[in-house]
Structure formats: structure tokens, C-alpha cells
């Protein structure tokens, strides 16, 4: 059979038919079996678009939230920074305050602390009360007294245990009576030792108080003296400018100012030192500043005479009580030995010697107290007389200075004479102030010699 096409042509048509059939089958399958997936695909595309939109919205929301978070974070950081700055400033302020109150602070901080604490008032009674609470010597004495009492109690308990093992003998009797007396006396002596320390500190506080009060008043006098010298220098310069005074007057006035400045600097140093000593004895920070209340003991002469003062001191002084207690203990020992007729033994002779020693100690203490009272009594009277004398001398020097200034203004006195008159006035002022301080200390020493406890 003869085909109308050649074999090559036929092969080409066959391949084309196969391809057409394949394409047709694919189209039918696409219209029937894959129609739903196409809709799903379209839905998926729509969902994808919605999801994409939602995602975009969420992204925008997240972005907004992120921006808000960043804003909150920034605000928090700003607030934290502000708080940190405030805390840092507060910390710095506390550190500055601590530095101001520190003994080792700088001059500027010390001055700030001084201006704050300078307003605090201090009286003599308050100073004594403060020392009774914070003075280290008193606290140590109290602790030592407590320790001594404990040791004595331990010793007494040990002796009591030993007595239980002993028969009725001399040693047992001594332990019973002398041990009890020794314990009571030891406790009394410990209390007296604390009183001794308290009285010593109290006397030291009063002395330091009046020394500081004197230093403060002396500083004011030095300031007044400097003002007078500076005024004199101005007058000398004015007189030199108009030709009524020579250049030497200015030089002399400058010398007077320099001397007054040196005296003022010395007074400031003295005030600082006395302030530290006062703070040390009352037991506070040595750099603390006080405004002292004047405590001038301008009292009348003692109503008692010297003999009465001595008799009163012998009744009140704690040293006498201490010596009498030691004599009582020595007599107790002798009495125990006498009960056992053992005076001839070594212990008996030693006990009698101790009694004689205790009596001699009392006599010696009496003489010492009488001497102290007499010295304090006489110094008190002399200090009272000195105040009146120094006051009159100061008034006379003030009048002389005034008259010398008048003579200088009228050309009848030199600058040197004015300077000398001013120095004389300053010296008399200092002597009067010194007399007041000495009198106050004399009163304190007299009260201490009498054994006055107040």
C-alpha cells in the first residue's frame, strides 16, 4: 500500500499528533480535576493577600509598638538618668556633708561645718554633763571598778569554798571576817576611785571651759586693737597727703598694724588649740565649734574663814574616806587575831604595823588637804583683789589713749606716741581679761579643794 506522504513526512505528522493529544488531555484534566485547586489557589492568593495585609498591619502595629517601647525605654532611661543624677547629687551632697563634718576635711568644708555648728550654745553645766557621759577616762574608771568588783566576788567565792573544807581555825575565821570586810571595802574604794576620776575630769572641764572663754574674748580684743591701728594708719596717710606729717609717721603706723595683725594671728591659733583641748576633755570631735555662754563666778568672799574651810574639806574629801576605810580594814585584822590570842605571832605584829601605817596615812592626808584648802583660799582672795586693780588700770589706759589721739589730731603728739598708747591699752585690756579668767579658776579650785560636788 502506497501512502500519500513520504516516511519522513509521516514521522513528522505522527509526532505532531502525539503532542496535540497530550495537550488536549492536559487541557481536559485542567478543566475538570484541577478546577477546585484553581479556586483554592485563587482563595489562597486572596488569603495570602489578606495575610500579607494583616502581616503588614501587624508589622505596622509592631513598629508602632516598637516605637512606643523605644519611647518608653527612652523615657525610662531619661528618668533613670535623672534619678541617677539626683541620687548622684544626693550621694555627693551626703559625701560633702560627711566631709564637712570630718576632722580631716579641707579648710573650705571645715568653715561650712563651723558656720553650722557655731550656732550651738554651750554652758558650763552642759559641758560637765557631756564629759560625765563621753569622757574616756571616766568610762575607763567605771569599767575598771566593775571589773574589780567582779574579781573581788570571785575571790570571795573561792575563799568560801575553801572554808567548807577547813575546820574551825584561825584561817577560817580570818577568811570569814576579813574576807567580808575586804569585799565591802574594796567595793567602796572602787566607787571612790570613780568619784576621784569624775572630780578630776570635772575640774579639768571647768578649767578648759574658762580657758576657751578667755581665748574667745582675747580674740575680740585683738580685733579691736587691729581696728585702732588701721584707723591710725589712715589718719597718718591723710596727714601726710596734706603735708602735716612726715613719711616716718606712716611707717610707724604700718608697723603698728603689722604688730596688731601678728597678735591677732596668735590669738586665733590660741583659740583653735583651746577649742580642741576643750572638745577632747568633754569627749567630742576635737574640731567641733561652740558658742560659749559667759560663766563669770563673781561671788562674794567665802562666809567661812580658813579654819572652817579646812574642817569642811576634811569631812567631804573622798581621800579621807578612803584612808579611813583602809584603817578600818587593818583594825578588823587585829581584832580577829586578838580573838585567837595570836598577837605575838608574825601575823599579829604585821597587822599592828598595818594599823599604825593607816593612821599615819590619815594624818598625812589631813595635812595635804589643809595645805590645798589654804592655797586655794588665799588664791581666791588674791584673784578677787586683782580684778578690781586690773579694771582700774584698763580704764586709765583707755583714757590715756583717748587723750593721746586728741593731741595727735592737734599736732601735739606723734604717731609713735599714739601707737605706744594703743599698745598700753591693749596690754591692760588683756591683763583685765586674764584677771577675770584667773578669778574664775580660783573659785573652781577652791570648790574642788573643799570637796564640793556640784
pLDDT of 7 reads: 52
CA dihedral 76, 81, 85, 88 (to 10 degrees): 100
Q: Is the model's pTM score more than 0.95?
A: no
pLDDT of 320 reads: 85
H or E element, residue 383: helix 346-409
pLDDT of 33 reads: 41
Q: Note whether 205 and 280 are within 8 A (CB).
A: no
pLDDT of 347 reads: 77
Number of Cα atoms under 13 Å in the Cβ half of residue 24: 6
> Distance between CA atoms of 332 and 181, rounded to whole angstroms?
8
Q: What is the CA radius of gyration of the chain?
A: 51
pLDDT of 199 reads: 85
Of the candidates 100, 124, 103, which has an alpha carbon nearest to the alpha carbon of residue 113? Answer: 100
Q: Note whether 290 and 122 are within 8 A (CB).
A: yes
Q: State how far the alpha carbon of 384 is from the alpha carbons of 293, 298, 304, 436, in Å.
A: 21, 9, 16, 9
Report residues of the chain scoring pLDDT below 70: 1-119, 152, 155-179, 181-182, 298-302, 338-344, 453-454
pLDDT in tens, 216-272: 999 999 999 999 999 989 988 988 888 878 888 889 899 999 999 999 999 999 999
pLDDT of 321 reads: 82
pLDDT in tens, 289-332: 888 888 777 655 667 889 999 998 998 887 888 888 888 888 87
Amino acid at each position: 500500500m502506497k501512502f500519500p506522504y513520504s516516511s519522513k513526512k509521516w514521522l513528522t505528522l505522527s509526532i505532531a499528533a502525539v503532542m496535540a493529544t497530550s495537550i488536549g488531555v492536559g487541557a481536559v484534566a485542567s478543566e475538570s480535576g484541577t478546577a477546585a485547586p484553581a479556586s483554592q489557589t485563587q482563595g489562597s492568593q486572596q488569603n495570602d493577600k489578606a495575610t500579607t495585609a494583616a502581616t503588614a498591619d501587624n508589622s505596622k502595629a509592631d513598629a508602632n509598638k516598637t516605637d512606643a517601647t523605644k519611647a518608653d525605654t527612652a523615657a525610662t532611661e531619661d528618668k533613670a538618668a535623672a534619678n541617677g543624677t539626683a541620687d548622684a547629687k544626693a550621694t555627693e551632697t551626703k559625701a560633702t556633708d560627711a566631709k564637712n563634718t570630718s576632722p580631716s576635711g579641707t579648710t573650705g568644708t571645715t568653715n561650712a561645718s563651723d558656720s553650722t555648728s557655731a550656732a550651738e550654745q554651750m554652758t558650763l553645766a552642759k559641758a560637765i554633763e557631756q564629759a560625765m557621759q563621753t569622757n574616756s577616762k571616766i568610762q575607763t574608771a567605771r569599767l575598771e571598778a566593775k571589773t574589780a568588783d567582779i574579781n573581788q566576788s570571785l575571790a570571795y567565792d573561792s575563799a568560801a569554798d575553801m572554808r567548807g573544807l577547813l575546820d574551825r581555825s584561825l584561817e577560817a575565821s580570818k577568811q570569814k571576817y576579813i574576807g567580808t570586810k575586804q569585799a565591802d571595802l574594796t567595793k567602796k574604794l572602787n566607787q571612790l576611785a570613780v568619784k576621784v576620776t569624775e572630780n578630776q575630769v570635772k575640774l579639768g572641764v571647768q578649767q578648759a571651759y574658762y580657758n576657751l572663754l578667755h581665748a574667745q574674748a582675747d580674740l575680740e580684743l585683738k580685733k579691736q586693737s587691729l581696728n585702732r591701728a588701721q584707723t591710725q594708719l589712715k589718719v597718718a596717710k591723710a596727714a601726710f597727703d596734706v603735708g602735716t606729717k612726715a613719711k616716718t609717721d606712716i611707717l610707724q603706723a604700718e608697723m603698728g598694724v603689722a604688730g596688731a595683725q601678728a597678735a591677732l594671728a596668735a590669738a586665733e591659733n590660741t583659740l583653735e588649740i583651746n577649742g580642741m583641748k576643750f572638745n577632747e576633755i568633754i569627749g567630742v570631735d576635737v574640731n567641733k565649734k561652740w558658742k560659749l555662754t559667759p560663766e563669770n563666778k563673781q561671788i562674794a568672799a567665802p562666809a567661812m574663814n580658813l579654819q572652817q574651810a579646812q574642817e569642811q574639806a576634811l569631812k567631804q574629801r573622798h581621800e579621807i574616806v578612803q584612808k579611813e576605810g583602809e584603817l578600818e580594814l587593818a583594825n578588823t585584822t587585829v581584832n580577829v587575831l586578838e580573838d585567837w590570842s595570836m598577837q605575838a605571832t608574825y601575823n599579829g605584829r604585821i597587822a599592828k604595823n598595818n594599823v599604825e601605817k593607816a593612821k599615819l596615812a590619815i594624818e598625812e592626808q589631813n595635812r595635804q588637804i589643809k595645805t590645798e584648802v589654804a592655797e586655794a583660799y588665799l588664791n581666791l582672795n588674791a584673784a578677787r583683789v586683782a580684778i578690781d586693780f586690773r579694771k582700774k588700770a584698763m580704764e586709765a589706759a583707755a583714757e590715756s589713749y583717748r587723750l593721746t589721739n586728741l593731741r595727735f589730731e592737734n599736732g601735739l603728739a606723734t604717731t609713735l606716741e599714739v601707737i605706744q598708747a594703743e599698745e598700753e591699752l591693749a596690754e591692760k585690756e588683756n591683763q583685765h581679761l586674764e584677771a577675770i579668767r584667773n578669778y574664775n579658776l580660783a573659785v573652781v579650785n577652791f570648790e574642788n579643794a573643799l570637796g564640793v560636788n556640784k
